[in-house]
Structure 1
């Protein structure tokens, strides 16, 4: 009789209730990644073209991972798509990523996955009267990928705080425009754009034209090299897919090592992937620039945190380890 009762229970109850092991939850079979424009995204381009993520995922026990690549411009578009479930990994500047981390706490919850590298951004202008940011007037327009919440506007705010004692002094002069469009407008002198805060290869291209000059460099504003762009995801996605996340970071590390060892080939790959008309030697010179370091290790992230917390843009004051997923904590971040 007792055996019959136990057999009936075994048929009715799930394996976990009887102490039997439950099968491990399968990780995602699809990874949707969005990137923006510029050489800052070269590690992702290399990983895409060489299928490094798929290879690393297979080695880590995730077979047949399908990687889908999307192209968006600006932190706002990235966040909307990530939060709505339209993508799994978003990319944006470190400054807006910190804002997103803070604003989504207790709701969606964001986890930064990896840095894409440290590199300067440069504010350029075609206005000969502008030598420093103090020379801008109400008639100037500064193009950025995304106003207020983007990387460049927050660096501009840090610079404005130092120059004017008021961090939002220049906000009214900024307009949203993707880097390629802003570069075209600045060099042609059309559309009312007189300045552009931008990243490689756009500022190098602009300066090489002889039509613009440099106003400030973000390394000077932040006191040295700093992380530019990062990859981030919802905390749930990171927690549910540890093998995929590990494979992704390993793929970026592999891509970074390949870029440093093969700058000429990396330049050609970038030009082909982006359908760029830039001279390969010009792109190679940018990749070789000692100011640029392709690395997954976060650098001077807490300098951005300090500013954003001090002026009230964020409510929490996280360390870099609070921001980034545990797989990065063994790195010498800052």
Structure 2
């Protein structure tokens, strides 16, 4: 779908079945949510709807003039926007489980509330997901304040899926593939993309350990692997729930990252201050490291 331009905003809008449900968990981030919604408003195709699940301490994040304006823009463009207050908070995994239960489209984009998307990113992710046969394709967030900070050692694990088809693989701490996590630190992927020299509008898929903050799933594949239904096996203070879900999907369907990535991390302070429990380690364990030890598999963005 081409988004409805301003000349048509005053006309009645007929809802159409969405190809993508964009799912946004938010908490205490009105300014960041407004920027995230502005990025969505700049996307052309595929058809998408937006569901926001808010767990703010006081008023919801969308109760801010900038966020409210962006909701109105999306609705004028023909997108359905649902604003859901979801309390009490039971942890990140339960919040994602709730959002997934409220999705119906063939693909679901889990988008954090502090990510701006370059125009064309949603179309690129959707095209890559369809052509690759993967269970998910993610756009790793870039911290643009780190652009002067080149880290060749952290970029070394970069490896393309040369055929364009994504194969299932097992990722665990201490096993092959886990070292790829460094690719998504700072602005490493931006430096990788500049070396690839791809023509404008073209992308390639590469091998990942996991992708945070902006991930498009085949909804059937995600549900087939249990989704985030494991939330009740975790204490509320956890992180790494997306890692656990992705590792399960990768073993059965495969997963990949998209390069170049036009997903920009806003670099606001994290709202996930309690990372006592590592969900991926609790649920899936690892090799060579005791559960809970070593590098956190869900570090704050752009460290």
Instruction: Indicate the TM-score class for this superposition, using the shorter chain for normalisation.
Output: under 0.3
> Whose relative contact order is higher, 1 or 2, with alpha carbons under 8 Å and at least 6 apart?
1
Larger-Rg structure: 1
Greater helix proportion:
1
TM-score, structure 1 as length reference? 0.25
TM-score, structure 2 as length reference? 0.27
